Amino acid sequence: MNATIILNRLASATAALPRRQVLQPLSNGNSLYQAVKFPQKIAFLGVAALCFVGVAGCRRSHGPDVVATVNGKPIMRSEVEQLYQSNLGESHQQPSKEQADNVRLNVLRNLIDEEILMERAAQLNLVDSDEEVDNQINELKAPFTQEEFNKRLADSHRTLDDLKRQIRRAKTEEKLFNKEINSKINISDGDISAYYNAHKSEFNLIEPMYHLAQIMVTSIPLPPQQQTVNLQNSKATNDAEAKKKIETLHNRLESGEDFGLLAQNFSERPDTSSNGGDMGFVSESQLRSSPDVYTAIGKIKTGQITEIMPVFDNQHRTVGYQILKLIDRQAAGQRELNDPRVQQTIRGQLRDARSQLLRNAYLEMLRDEARVENFFAEDVFKNGAQ
């Protein structure tokens, strides 16, 4: 099976437009309105020009190592550089200055958003405790010796404190979204019926379908714009590490650990790891295009997992390893609304779509309430205009 990972995390910035009062003409019809309007406009433009040309005069001073603040809390240049270098991985191709600054802007925007979410979580007492973080660290270290684990940290340009901070943020955000968003989503039977009636043809299977989940490990470095790959931010850096990691995960699965939880924490396919490795339904013809995968799936029953299998690129070179789980197998034909599998599929799709929409809206509302100063963006804009 070709390993196609679509990684795209784009951030968009919004700016609040200033409000101004509109003067009304006097009832006697004289020209006082004109007399007042012109100097007020000049004064407004004068202040705006001062703020634009001399930004430092309209903001609080900040140290050279501070690239942004969120409600007065600084974000340091070292944080941005650490994530920037980590994202480059072992890539030998150095980006241009414009490309590098664009990546840094995206990294910084993500750090700003994370800080906004962390402050909100702190208000709700949802921040992950030290004990919870240490438990995650111990789970992450399990497949490796202490020397191997330290080397992984060094290769990713992180310290143990960096890793703990990233884990705390990821788990805290998960708690926050579950409390503020997911717990409030209600998918009614009417919603399911309406979706089914509008998409009935989607449930008419012209060939057998296989519902699969995947845990994948690969030594391919993340692209610069991708900060995290799973909840643990666990990433193999070479083929030997990838093999050892996938073997450890397979042993844990054989011991009865939950496939979805392991995928969320350790799978290195970002587009499915957050959903417990769920790949959705794959047609039989698609599976047949990869004979080894089709044969492996044909040997297992619903709920079982395959042996470790290689993942190939377009040139049929091994780029990683995977474990597949057969969640369900469906024969060809029309699926009716009273089929529990149909209802479960629709409910999941509607819940995921609504959750993503509400997350975006929730973050925008928190951004509106936050006081953010992005000094790095100002420097890029100023230097780029010259």
Whichever domain contains 134, its CATH number is 1.10.4030.10
pLDDT score of 226:
60
Residue 14 scores a pLDDT above 60:
no
Q: Which two tokens stand for residue 64?
A: 């050279």
Share of the chain above pLDDT 90, in %: 55
* Same-domain pairing of 253 and 367: no
Cα separation of 169 and 115, whole Å? 9
pLDDT score of 61:
65
Q: Give the H or E element holding residue 140.
A: helix 130-141
pLDDT bucket at 385, cuts 50 / 70 / 90? low
Helices 97-123 & 160-180 angle (0-180, nearest 10) = 60
Q: What is the pLDDT of residues 282-307, one digit of tens each?
A: 999 999 999 999 999 999 999 999 99
User: Is residue 14 within 8 Å of 367, Cβ to Cβ?
Assistant: yes
pLDDT score of 235:
86
CA distances from 80 to 65, 162, 215, 303 (A): 10, 12, 29, 42
Whether residue 380 lies inside any domain: the answer is: yes
Residue 62 scores a pLDDT above 80:
no
Q: What is the pLDDT of residues 30-43, one digit of tens each?
A: 333 333 333 333 33
Chain center to CA of 212 = 22
In the chain, how many domains are there? 3
Whether residue 279 lies inside any domain: the answer is: yes
User: Is residue 269 within 8 Å of 5, Cβ to Cβ?
Assistant: yes
pLDDT score of 125:
96
Residue 3 scores a pLDDT above 70:
no
Whether residue 295 lies inside any domain: the answer is: yes
* Same-domain pairing of 234 and 118: no
Residue 11 scores a pLDDT above 60:
no
Whether residue 6 lies inside any domain: the answer is: no
Whether residue 344 lies inside any domain: the answer is: no
Ramachandran assignment for 34, one of left (phi > 0), alpha (psi -120 to 50 degrees), beta (any other): alpha
What is the signed CA dihedral for 236, 152, 155, 117, rounded to 10 degrees? 80
Q: What is the pLDDT of residues 205-233, one digit of tens each?
A: 999 999 999 999 998 877 655 656 787 77
How much is the average pLDDT of 362-375?
96
How much is the average pLDDT of 113-135?
95
* Same-domain pairing of 142 and 233: no
Q: What is the pLDDT of residues 180-204, one digit of tens each?
A: 999 999 999 999 999 999 999 989 9
Q: What is the pLDDT of residues 242-294, one digit of tens each?
A: 999 999 999 999 989 999 999 998 999 988 998 899 998 999 999 999 999 99
Whether residue 342 lies inside any domain: the answer is: no
Residue 367 scores a pLDDT above 90:
yes
Ramachandran assignment for 138, one of left (phi > 0), alpha (psi -120 to 50 degrees), beta (any other): alpha
Share of the chain above pLDDT 70, in %: 81
* Same-domain pairing of 160 and 80: yes
pLDDT bucket at 313, cuts 50 / 70 / 90? confident
Q: Give the H or E element holding residue 319.
A: strand 318-330
* Same-domain pairing of 177 and 251: no
Q: What is the pLDDT of residues 314-338, one digit of tens each?
A: 888 889 999 999 999 999 999 999 9
CB atoms within 10 A of CB 230: 21
How much is the average pLDDT of 356-371?
95
pLDDT score of 308:
96
Place of tokens 């951030």: 11
Cα separation of 92 and 386, whole Å? 30
* Same-domain pairing of 174 and 244: no
* Same-domain pairing of 236 and 322: yes
* Same-domain pairing of 57 and 73: no
Residue 226 belongs to domain with CATH number? 3.10.50.40
Domain that holds residue 77: 66-183+354-384
CB atoms within 10 A of CB 135: 13
Whether residue 374 lies inside any domain: the answer is: yes
Whether residue 266 lies inside any domain: the answer is: yes
